[in-house]
């Protein structure tokens, strides 16, 4: 979606159209992420260390250099 419009998306709730800004969308996404992580840890499904290790692994996979990808 284009930033030129000043909003990320439009939503219709109860027949009323509402424009959602990129900032609102980002904050909503972050809150959802935080809630999910918090619940997983509270329910002892993951530990904070496991989460950090997984983030490090994903970061390493997604942001490797072109030389690493060819080799």
CB 11 within 8 Å of CB 18: yes
Q: What is the mean pLDDT of residues 19-43?
A: 96
Phi-psi region of 14 (alpha: psi -120 to 50; beta: other; left: phi over 0): left
Q: What is the mean pLDDT of residues 4-13?
A: 85
More confident site: 2 or 19: 19
What pLDDT is stored for residue 6 in this prediction? 81
Rounded to whole angstroms, how far apart are CA atoms 19 and 9?
Answer: 6
Closest CA to 20 of 1, 43, 36: 1
Q: What is the mean pLDDT of residues 2-17?
A: 83
Dihedral sign computed on CA atoms, order 30, 27, 32, 44: positive
Single pTM value for the model: 0.66
What pLDDT is stored for residue 32 in this prediction? 98
């Amino acid at each position: 979606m284009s930033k030129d419009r000043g909003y990320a998306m439009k939503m219709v709730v109860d027949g009323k159209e509402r424009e959602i800004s990129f900032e609102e969308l980002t904050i909503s996404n972050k809150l959802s992420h935080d809630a999910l992580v918090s619940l997983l840890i509270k329910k002892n499904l993951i530990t904070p260390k496991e989460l950090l290790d997984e983030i490090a692994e994903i970061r390493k996979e997604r942001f490797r250099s072109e030389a690493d990808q060819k080799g």
